[in-house]
A and B are shown apart, each in its own frame.
Chain A
Amino acid sequence: MSNKYVEMGMRSPVNLTWEVTLACNLRCSHCLSSSGEKACNELTTAEALDLVEQLHTAGVFQVNFGGGEPFIRPDFEEILAACHSHGIMTCISTNGTLFTPELVARLSRNRLVAIQVSMDGAKRETCDAIRGAGVFDAAIAAVKLLAATKIPTSINTVLTAQNADEIPAMHEMASSLGVSLRVSRFRPSGRGADNWESLRPSPAQLLAFSDWLSSSGDVRTGDSFFSLTSQERQGLGLNLCGAAKLTCCVSPTGHMYPCAFLQTDRFEAGDLRQNSFQEIWDGSEIYESFRNLRIHSCEECQRFDQCHGGCPAVAWHLKNDINGGDPECLERCVTSIADNRLAEAA
């Protein structure tokens, strides 16, 4: 990962997260965007298709669709098709509950789509406690439909206190189903903030996960664990936060943010109904502040070159300080465990 070139500034994001709707048929307790009801004033079909044109012109390589549940949007396949017609790669994060053989057949006609089905445990009861009754079985059914196609498919799980011990079993489950495993970091935004204390993995669980990850090179993390990345996984992904440098987020209403976990007024970079995508990417003061963000408080850390201060979103949500360094980085996990042992010994 060459920070020198990243710091020169990209003409557009490499990829971006586009939450196409806030509507969702589930109410997962860790949902980063508190999805449920459709938002007022979501982008219309015409506006969404115009955005695809703008992303193409800007040179964006990949759009990661999320929500909400993207397939609730009646025009979602039309938006997908528009991306694919321009060669834009797409990855869809879905709960899998709306999948039918017909939908999977339509999706499999295109080679530019990848799908992540969200699941939160290898055990039915663990997954359904977070996502709702019956979701585990529905998601497994969707994964089986997808695994029978050529669509690159992964099970995406958010690491929580409840499922941390089941991650290796999820890895085995994904392998047995013929798909890959992707593990995402739990962050305190949306309903995830409301349920932070009950769902957050402990420092010991984060350390154990980091160790396991270092010997599980085929497990993807979407760069969400770069603050925990061990030496063994260096080179597999980013060693710094890519928000506003390599990626960004578009909300259902067309507002742009540095990342999906910072969708608040404080971090709004622009409104696509007021300015073009390129104007916002090039001219937003919020984006500029992220490009110039240096976590000086972490510079003396021995792991600074490996994470550059970690995730600013977690720092913001937990410490209200974007410059404060990631409160749950590997180094702080180790320190926290050592402090607890000392306290217990005393």
Chain B
Amino acid sequence: MKSSQSTESAGFTRMAAAGIKLHPSCRARQERFGLLFYDCRGPRLLFAATGTLIPADFFGTIRRRDEFPAGVSESQKMALNKFVTQLLEKGFLHEQ
């Protein structure tokens, strides 16, 4: 795991996130189309047509922002990067 480091921004100090992880209020599982995310706070669902690209338990442990499963191509990494951003924005993933 990447260690936390202090960064200076806009006049105040914050700790940089060590990585990203599934939010404690969220779950994910494999479906035929890809991953199904569930957020019990809504409840909300998110259907992700990821096929078998990402295992359902991938975000169960802390991952670096640029970390992807082995065997993923560069173009797939770009798509996954946008997908991870979306998951963060929607609160299914959170920074640790």
Contact = CB atoms under 8 A, between A and B. Distances in A.
Contacts of B25: 89
B31 interface: yes
B24 A111 contact: yes
Interface in A30-83: 59, 61-62
Interface of A, secondary structure class, is loop
Interface stretch (A8-16, A169-177, A195-203, A262-270): A8-16
Interface of B: 24-25, 27, 29-33, 36, 38, 40-43, 45, 47, 49
Contacts of B42: 236-237
Given A1-B45, A61-B27, A87-B27, A14 B38 contact: yes
A340 interface: no
Query: Which 9 A-B pairs have CB atoms at the shortest separation, nearest pair first?
Result: A5-B47, A61-B38, A59-B29, A61-B27, A2-B47, A89-B40, A5-B33, A62-B40, A8-B32
Contacts of B30: 11
A62 B43 contact: yes
Interface of A: 1-2, 5, 8-11, 14-15, 59, 61-62, 87, 89, 91, 111, 114, 152, 236-237, 246
Nearest to A89: B40
Given A14-B45, A87-B27, A89-B27, A114 B33 contact: no
A114 B27 contact: no
B32 A61 contact: no
A15 B42 CA distance: 13
A89 B24 CA distance: 10
Nearest to A114: B40
Given A11-B30, A59-B29, A246-B45, 12 more contacts: A2-B47, A8-B32, A10-B31, A10-B36, A11-B32, A61-B38, A61-B40, A62-B38, A62-B40, A62-B43, A87-B27, A114-B40
B33 A61 contact: no
Contact of A11 (B24, B31, B41, B43): B31
A6 to B, nearest CB: 8
A10 B47 CA distance: 11
Contacts of B24: 111
Given A15-B43, A111-B24, A5 B31 contact: yes
Nearest to A2: B47
Contacts of B40: 61-62, 89, 91, 114
Contact of B36 (A14, A87, A237): A14
Contacts of A9: 32
B27 to A, nearest CB: 5
Nearest to A222: B43
Contacts of B27: 61, 87, 89
19 contacts: A5-B33, A5-B36, A8-B33, A9-B32, A10-B36, A11-B32, A14-B45, A15-B38, A61-B27, A61-B29, A62-B38, A62-B40, A89-B25, A89-B27, A91-B40, A111-B24, A236-B42, A237-B42, A246-B45
